[in-house]
Structure 1
Amino acid sequence: MKKLSITVLAAACCYSSLVAAAQPTYLNEVLVTASRTAQSVDETLASATLITRKDIERSQAITVADILQKTPGVMITNSGGIGKASSIYLRGTSTKDLLILIDGIRVGSATLGQVSVEDLNLSQVERIEIVRGPRSSLYGSDAAGGVIQIFTRRGAGKLTPSFVVSTGSDGTALAEVGLQGGDQNRWFNVTASGISTDGFDAKTTGDSDDDGYHNQGLQLKVGQRFNGGHEVEGFFSVTDSENEYDGFTDKGDTRTQVLGARSTLEVSEMWRVNLSAGRSWNHAKTFSGNTFSSRYETTRDSLSVQNDLLIGDDNQLIFGVDYLNDQIESSYSYAETERNNWAGFAQYQLPMGQSDLQFSVRVDDNEQFGSHTTGGIAWGIPLNGAIDFVASYGTAFKAPSFNDLYYPGSGNAALVPEESDTFELSLRGTLKGINWQTSLYQTSFDNMIAWAPIAVGSSTWAPSNINQARIRGLEISADYQWQQWTLSGNVSFIDPENRSGVNKGNRLQRRADKIANINVDRDFGALALGATLHAESSRYSNDSNTSSLGGFGTVDLRAAYQLAPVWQVRAKLSNLLDKEYQTVSGYNQAGSTALFTLAYQPQ
């Protein structure tokens, strides 16, 4: 790694003052995304972070991007405020290398090949699981950088209404109304929400006007548990957004819907069958003024059959079949508008005394690019009673999007999938009440898709499999709870390097090479206070590394006061020092802003 010795020394200096993810580690909480089966946080062999509903409310975040930004290895770029085009860079990989699921259903635009992060609705979220590192051997395409799975709100307890209203700077207003209930055998939740903001001038040049954003959403989930451990659950969510921005097109309407059902069948004490099916829609329109410009519609149908088989006392075999069908419609004419993907996968978890081994393999058969096999292996071993060592290796791939392959006038139907492999070494443990983890990793990409002339000297460009890249990184994270204090933080050192062409040796564009977060929270009975420091180093805005954006740091303060058992008021000051910065060249970020909230939330 470039400047590895400097990075390690810096990490060592920072470690004593930084304490882990933006949220405390929940060692006994259960994750399902890392291995497609239930494991507690301390049992999983993956680098993972859990964000609960309590974390979301304590942070007073407005968007999914807000809450993700404070987790290890995550960098968010944004083109001008709430609702504007955003990207997630997880450990230096791009958004198209990140698989995002909602209640197990694959979402996103098949034309773009990624999810519009800015339109994800935080009011609908119960919890978020973030798994860093490749997971193609379990989930297929798009999971080279990792997987983020969003679970919508479920509901429990007696029939309970709730509402939350907020108002703040830039004409920002939020409202959320919910009703939930249930017991051990049945549950339901319905949540309606909306966010509206006048925004600010998104671009540094061009029109001088405020660029607003409006988003309305509805989420419903209902489930039933039967005798024998069988479960059935159905869910639906919809989000409608209207966006204003500067450019040739200056307005956009997007609708995202997810409809799904899952069932768990306990065939025997040793065998469980998990069934899930769903459909997601992504419909987007753009306008120039009031004149229609373009339309893109994606429909994704998915089906999964998974078997969890316990062998002996501890060994577990997971195997199954996934099916995905993508269909697109557009105001533009594409040569192909549909593709199917069948996949078979298996994972074997093998305890070996004190250590654990995990093997996974998957074969994807796509009607456009053929068959692709990925695999993974992880080994965890305790070094002593307080420290665990984990070594892992995994391969991944990314299928070309419909735009890459068939966009009228510029697609390249000869593209093949991008490929990658990742090595990771991790140490984690607990020392005097401090939960900590440090990870060292390297990801190498081949056949990366980039724009290039179709022939030497040609003025016509098209997507091509021409690039290679190598990303090396070091993460340190920890958290500590003492009496009424909660301290948490993380630091990431990332070396994302172009390894081919005229830009070989340059840093990949838009990636900061250092990211740090520090969080402090303190409860004083009915009053809770907190602060967050987020910092990123400089980045380059082009592949030639001739244009750069400066690093920045922001400070957020938050407070919450429990007026009564069911009433709470909250206040948040973001970017307290009014720092001016950009994460995408030419696009402004919000200055100092305030948000005030009133919440009615019976327990």
Structure 2
Amino acid sequence: MAMTRQLLPVVLLIAGAFAWPPALSAQQQEGKPEDEAAEAQAETIEEQTEEADALPVLNIVVAGTRTEKEQKDSPIQTEVITEDQIEASGSDTLEGVLGETGLQFAETGMGSHVQMQGMDGERILFLIDGRRVSGRVASNIVANTIAMDNVERIEIIRGPQSALYGSEAIGGVINIITKEPDYELSGDYQVTTRALLPISESSDPAYTSLANKQSGLAHLNLPIGAFANRLTLSAEHAFPYLDDEDQSLYPGATRADAGLDSDIVLSSGGTLAFGSAYSFHRQKENISSGGAFDRIDTQRLNSYIAYDVTTEKKGFLKANLYHNYFQRDKSQYSSILDEWNDSGSEYQHYLSGDLQYTQPLGDQNELTMIGSYGYDRLKKYNIGDYAVHQRHTFSLVLQDEQYKKDSYSLLAGLRSEYSNDYGIFFAPKLSGMYVPRPGIRILPSVGLGYRAPSFLELYLDSAGNIYHKYGNPDLDPERSVSFNLGVDWTRENVTLQFAGYHSELSDEIVYDYTDRADDDGRQVIIKENLDRSSRSGFDLSLNWNVLSDLSMTARYGYLFAYDRSAGEELDLVPSHTGGASVHYLLKPLALKAKFSTSVTGPHERSEHTLVTFDVYLEKSLKDNFELFGGVDNITGVQDDFSDLLAGPVLYLGIRGSF
């Protein structure tokens, strides 16, 4: 009841805002009766909806083959999260968007913990426009430093993709596709305010008020001469939320992002694209049980230049050069000295260049060749006395696809890679697609994967009060063999997808809690190639357009992970996950509504079944102007590992374009 009383004013506020009648139509302004105006507006909305439904839905996927294909023609089963789905998630973070796909994703003090088919950490490769994202903490990407303010879609491929992308893609790939510049002057904007509503009445009165977070973003397409340019600006500020013992449940944060992308069509018919993006994120006022007052500053700078052209023989040539810079600085406040002191810094440079050529061989065959070079340079406070470590990689990818449109596809690929640390790797893969009848696709695949140990796993030297953790320079790379079987069934307004998998992982790198002690009596923990494990399971999803204005989605995932070395089941990841959502369009009010739920089974890090509920509303007020809002985690479920610590999150915003 206490929580209901706290929620009621905010819910009424959001409901009142969305009950605001639509903008006056021309008929209303001319004094026509309201029922005629409402009928005219409903007819207009219905006509627009029918026109949109008549257009073909073509999700272009890239990550699975590194060539553009319609989703229905790709032999690699790929999930695409569209811009509309990103908006309907109500989230401004990668965690919130991906959480609705069934992926286990949680922000922790040690980076973003994401799991895909039982694989996690550095076994999941993150890309932005096909380019690697650098910067990890304890093997996990720091996802809250990846801006989500210029995203067109997200592609998700489950299962090993080492044959295309190399080391980190042993468990899957997440490719974030950004929006391209437009040759017409245009722009859009969005402003959002979020509030964290406490669910405990025992909190100190100073902290029972709403913890607010405001964010804003703007895009401007500004053509100058022959150049198309897209400018992106965004900012965010969040106040800290402390519990009744003055410890941080959610620290304060400040974020600023800026980016510029440009395209020009050259006289040769090719396109030259280049751009750069900078992101600064500060997490502050993070007060722990020990009284530490921490601040973490993270910076990202990504730059690229790319050229692509279609040759006279209808081949496609693309050259790409990019540089990623990641910097993370930790500092701690001393109340005695009244100053901030550095407690740890790190930086990473990743420079890569690749040359790709795709050539059709007749009407039913396509050959792709990719040559790449990568340079990785890392300096980190807890690695080998702050020494600099470097890695060079050279790779060659050969991929051939034999296909017949709407009938079958057989794709064979092989990646050979040389690393100055580990010599030569080979990663073959064979994928297929068979269409036994219209609306049914069968997609089997088998592939080998590998993952070279990270610099952290090789050279870590981190001492605490009880443990002393070490890396191991003698580690061998992890290797895997995986089998996947996908089935897509589409009939009129229903789509059913099944993805089954089995993976065997050998030379798995884990911590070995030894019986040794260092000179100060702390237990020694060291990275070793100790385990061999397997992961088997399936993911099932259903999309059903019940009516023209009502649709439903549902998903379920099952995973069985087994430690073959110890002869026991692995409980690090949940065996059962699920979720569902309902989308409804109320045409007379120009109102969209989405209700969703997510279910996660118990596992080692969370002993309870976790069930959350969200609601999202969006109302068109006039042309190119929308009001949106909602409530995440309505019931206030709390779970330390899933970053659900304090209660429901309420948000309200506006977006528009010109």
1:191-590 aligned at under 5 Å gives the runs: 191-201=232-242, 207=247, 211-226=251-266, 229-244=269-284, 245-247=286-288, 250-289=294-333, 290-331=340-381, 333-334=385-386, 337-351=389-403, 354-408=407-461, 410-453=470-513, 459-481=523-545, 482-501=547-566, 504-509=567-572, 511-525=573-587, 526-541=590-605, 548-583=606-641, 588-590=644-646
User: How far 1:181 moved relative to its partner?
Assistant: 4.7
The residue type equivalent to 2:365 in the other structure is N
Structure 2 distance, partners of 1:234, 1:508, is: 45
DSSP-derived class of the 1:337 partner:
strand
Q: Residue 184 and residue 314 in structure 1: after superposition, are their counterparts in 2 closer, same or farther (change >3 A)?
A: farther
Structure 2 contact 248–287 (Cα < 8 Å) conserved: no
1:30-45 aligned at under 5 Å gives the runs: 30-45=60-75
DSSP-derived class of the 1:142 partner:
helix
User: How far 1:254 moved relative to its partner?
Assistant: 0.5
The residue type equivalent to 2:85 in the other structure is D
Structure 2 distance, partners of 1:368, 1:114, is: 22
Superposed CA deviations along residues 476-503 of structure 1, whole A, max 9, x for unmatched, are 11212331223223211111222223xx
DSSP-derived class of the 1:108 partner:
coil
Q: Residue 117 and residue 206 in structure 1: after superposition, are their counterparts in 2 closer, same or farther (change >3 A)?
A: same
TM-score after normalising by structure 1: 0.88
Structure 1 contact 112–401 (Cα < 8 Å) conserved: no
Structure 1 contact 165–597 (Cα < 8 Å) conserved: yes
Structure 1 contact 228–266 (Cα < 8 Å) conserved: no
The residue type equivalent to 2:657 in the other structure is Q
Superposed CA deviations along residues 368-413 of structure 1, whole A, max 9, x for unmatched, are 1111110100122122223221211011111111111122472211
Q: Residue 53 and residue 210 in structure 1: after superposition, are their counterparts in 2 closer, same or farther (change >3 A)?
A: closer
Q: How many residues align?
A: 561
Structure 1 contact 521–528 (Cα < 8 Å) conserved: yes
User: How far 1:228 moved relative to its partner?
Assistant: 5.6
Structure 2 distance, partners of 1:86, 1:588, is: 14
The residue type equivalent to 1:256 in the other structure is R
User: How far 1:183 moved relative to its partner?
Assistant: 12
Superposed CA deviations along residues 511-544 of structure 1, whole A, max 9, x for unmatched, are 1111112121122232111111111111112xxx
User: How far 1:154 moved relative to its partner?
Assistant: 1.8
User: How far 1:432 moved relative to its partner?
Assistant: 3.4
Percent of counterpart pairs with the same letter? 19
Structure 1 distance, partners of 2:563, 2:246, is: 32
User: How far 1:70 moved relative to its partner?
Assistant: 1.0
Residue 132 in 1 paired to residue 158 in 2?
Answer: yes
Structure whose alpha-carbon radius of gyration is higher: 2
User: How far 1:199 moved relative to its partner?
Assistant: 4.3
User: How far 1:453 moved relative to its partner?
Assistant: 4.9
1:24-35 aligned at under 5 Å gives the runs: 28-35=58-65
Structure 1 distance, partners of 2:543, 2:150, is: 27
Structure 1 contact 166–598 (Cα < 8 Å) conserved: yes
The residue type equivalent to 1:243 in the other structure is Q
Q: Residue 233 and residue 530 in structure 1: after superposition, are their counterparts in 2 closer, same or farther (change >3 A)?
A: same
Structure 1, gaps ≥5 residues long: 1-25, 542-547
User: How far 1:33 moved relative to its partner?
Assistant: 0.6
TM-score after normalising by structure 2: 0.81
User: How far 1:146 moved relative to its partner?
Assistant: 0.8
Structure 1 distance, partners of 2:481, 2:498, is: 20
DSSP-derived class of the 1:268 partner:
coil
User: How far 1:455 moved relative to its partner?
Assistant: 7.8
Residue 115 in 1 paired to residue 150 in 2?
Answer: no
User: How far 1:210 moved relative to its partner?
Assistant: 5.0
1:83-162 aligned at under 5 Å gives the runs: 85-109=111-135, 112-156=138-182, 158-162=184-188
User: How far 1:161 moved relative to its partner?
Assistant: 2.9
DSSP-derived class of the 1:69 partner:
helix
Structure 1 contact 223–234 (Cα < 8 Å) conserved: yes
Q: Residue 334 and residue 288 in structure 1: after superposition, are their counterparts in 2 closer, same or farther (change >3 A)?
A: closer
Superposed CA deviations along residues 215-244 of structure 1, whole A, max 9, x for unmatched, are 111122111234564111112111111113
The residue type equivalent to 1:147 in the other structure is V
Q: Residue 186 and residue 52 in structure 1: after superposition, are their counterparts in 2 closer, same or farther (change >3 A)?
A: farther
Structure 1 contact 249–293 (Cα < 8 Å) conserved: no
The root-mean-square deviation of aligned C-alpha atoms, in Å, is 2.5
Superposed CA deviations along residues 38-76 of structure 1, whole A, max 9, x for unmatched, are 11111112221112222222322120111111114x111
The answer for the alignment partner of 1:594 in structure 2 is 650
Task: Select the structure with the greater relative contact order (CA < 8 A; seq sep ≥ 6).
Answer: 1
The answer for the alignment partner of 1:77 in structure 2 is 106
